[in-house]
Amino acid sequence: MIKIRSPRYEQSEITLPQNVAQLNVAFNGELCSSNGESFEIKRNIIDLLKKDPEKLSPAEYSNFLSITASVYEDVWRTKSLGLITGHDFPIEREMRYLYDWVEPKPNQLIVDLGCSTALYARKLKAYQSASDVIALDFSIPMLEEARKRADADNCELYLVRADARKQPFFSEQVDAIVCGGTLNEFSEVRKVLFECKRVLKPNGRFFLMHLLEAETWWGKGLQLTAKGGGVQFHSKSEINELFEEAGFQLLKQHTEGIVCFSLLTTSA
Ligand SMILES: C[S@@+](CC[C@H](N)C(=O)[O-])C[C@H]1O[C@@H](n2cnc3c(N)ncnc32)[C@H](O)[C@@H]1O
C-alpha cells in the first residue's frame, strides 16, 4: 500500500488504493486524506490539484490540449532524439540508458516526473514489474493518454495529477525519479530540483534526458523560437551548477549534440 503526502498539508497522508493502478478496470470515486481533505479519482487518475495551474507559458499550455496528448508520443517523442541529434537514435537506445542507469529494483517507488504519455513509466514498469511506478503530470489530457497507452500495454501505473514544484511525497520517500525532456519545460527549474532532492531517499537516483543550449548559429536560432514559448535551455556547466546547488551529485552524463542524459544521486 503506497501512502503519499497531501500537496497542501505536510503532515497529511493519502493512501492509494492498489486497484487504482489496474487500468483495465475503471476506478472512479474519492480519496480522503488523513486530515479529511478529499480528492477526486476519475477513470483511475488521482487529481491532487483539482484545477489547472494558472499562468501557463505557450509550451505548457500546449500540454493541456487533447490533440497534443494524442499525437505527442507517435509523431514527436519516439522520433525526437533522431531529429534533434541529426542521426539515427532509436527509442530502444534511449531506453537502454534508462534501464542501465536507473537499475530499478523490486519494491522500489519510482516517479516519472512530468510524464506526458508515461513513456518512461510504462517502460520501467514492464522492465521491473515488482516496482511501484507513479506517473505524475499536471495535465489531465496527458494523463488520460497515459492511461490509454498503459492499459493497452497491460501495465499497472498510478496516475497522479500534481505539480512537480510541490510534489505529493514525504521527504526521502522515493527511490528514483525519471524525467524525460521535461526539465526544459519546467517554469521554475530550481524549485523542481530542490523538491526532487527533498523527496528522494539517500542514494536515490534521478535520471534525466534534457536538452542543452545550442552552440551553432542555426541551433541558437531554432531555440530562440522555443524560448519565446517558455522552453528553457541551459549550457552543460549552467545545468550542472543547478544540480549541485540543489544538493545532487552527478554520477553519469552523456551528451550527443544538444541531447544530454544525466544521472544524479543524493548522498547517504
Ligand atoms: C516534454 S513533455 C514530457 C515528456 C515525457 N516526460 C516523455 O518522456 O515523453 C513535458 C510534460 O511535463 C508536464 N509538466 C510541465 N511542467 C510541469 C509541472 N510543473 N508539474 C507537472 N507536470 C509538468 C507537461 O504537462 C508535459 O506533459
How many whole angstroms separate alpha carbon 133 and alpha carbon 204? 15
Q: What is the per-residue pLDDT for 110?
A: 98
Please state, rounded to an integer, the average pLDDT across all residues of the chain: 95
Q: What is the per-residue pLDDT for 116?
A: 96
Whether pLDDT at 57 is above 90: no
Pairing of strands 2-5, 13-16: antiparallel
Instruction: List, in order, residues 6 or more apart from 181 with CB less than 8 Å away.
Output: 77, 80, 114, 209, 210, 211
Here the cell at position 185 is: 519545460
Instruction: List, in order, residues 6 or more apart from 79 with CB less than 8 Å away.
Output: none
C-beta separation of 178 from 110 below 8 A: yes
Q: What is the per-residue pLDDT for 18?
A: 87
| Angle subtended at Cα 39 by Cα 123 and Cα 64, rounded to the nearest 5 degrees | 55
How many whole angstroms separate alpha carbon 146 and alpha carbon 158? 10
How many whole angstroms separate alpha carbon 9 and alpha carbon 137? 20
What amino acid is encoded at 99 in this protein? Y
How many A from CA of 60 to the centre of ligand 1? 8
Q: What is the per-residue pLDDT for 60?
A: 85
Per-residue pLDDT of 133-184, as tens digits, reads 999 999 999 999 999 999 999 999 999 999 999 999 999 999 999 999 999 9
How many whole angstroms separate alpha carbon 13 and alpha carbon 6? 6
Q: Three-class SS string for 97-150?
A: HHHHHHCCCCCCEEEEECCCCCHHHHHHHHHCCCCEEEEEECCHHHHHHHHHHH
Q: What is the per-residue pLDDT for 52?
A: 87
Q: What is the per-residue pLDDT for 225?
A: 87
DSSP 216: S
Q: How many helices (H) and strands (E) does the chain have?
A: 9, 12
Task: Pick 55 or 243 by higher pLDDT.
Answer: 243
**pTM recorded for the entire structure:** 0.96
How many A from CA of 137 to the centre of ligand 1? 6
Q: How confident is the model at residue 131 (pLDDT cuts 50, 70, 90)?
A: very high
Instruction: Report the residue among 51, 52, 81, 185 best suited for mutation to probe ligand 1: largest number of ligand atoms under 8 A from its CB.
Output: 185
C-beta separation of 177 from 206 below 8 A: yes
Instruction: List, in order, residues 6 or more apart from 77 with CB less than 8 Å away.
Output: 116, 117, 119, 181
What residues does ligand 1 touch, defined as CB less than 6 Å away? 60, 63, 77, 114-116, 119-120, 137-139, 142, 163-165, 180-182, 185-186
How many whole angstroms separate alpha carbon 236 and alpha carbon 213? 8
Instruction: Report the residue among 61, 81, 133, 138 best suited for mutation to probe ligand 1: largest number of ligand atoms under 8 A from its CB.
Output: 138
Q: How confident is the model at residue 55 (pLDDT cuts 50, 70, 90)?
A: confident
The string of DSSP letters for 167-189 reads -SS-TT-EEEEEEES-GGG-S-H
